[in-house]
Amino acid sequence: MIPQTIYCISGLGADERVFTKINIEGYQLKVIPWLTPLRNETLPQYATRMRSNIEEENPVMMGLSFGGMVSIEIAKQIPVKK
């Protein structure tokens, strides 16, 4: 069975290390790296750019702090499994 990917977005000031101790059977974690915000970019616009790192339909999203807000915004823009 091929594991499903959980796309992870850390909080501001954090990185992929916040997810290193998470092990969920049947899933693999992929951390979406932060992008430098553009001048006057809104949260929906930023989430659209962050989405370019998602490689499958109906992804599973996980976010921490501001990364959670971005994950929720992505879920408003595309269908997600969780």
User: pLDDT of 43-55, one tens digit each?
Assistant: 999 999 999 999 8
Query: Is 82 within the bounds of a domain?
Result: no
Query: Is 45 within the bounds of a domain?
Result: yes
Structure tokens at 67: 């990364």
The CA distance from 19 to 69, in Å, is 17
Give the rounded percent of residues in the chain with a pLDDT score beyond 70: 100
pLDDT at residue 5 tops 90: yes
Instruction: Compute, in degrees rounded to 10, the torsion defined by CA atoms 50, 52, 57, 63.
Output: -20
Q: What DSSP line would sit under 53-67, residue for residue?
A: G--SSS-EEEE-THH
Query: Is 20 within the bounds of a domain?
Result: yes
- Number of domains, the chain: 1
Residue-number span of the structural domain to which 8 is assigned: 4-77
pLDDT for res 23: 92
Give the Å distances, CA to CA, from 39 to 36, 45, 67, 72. 9, 11, 19, 22
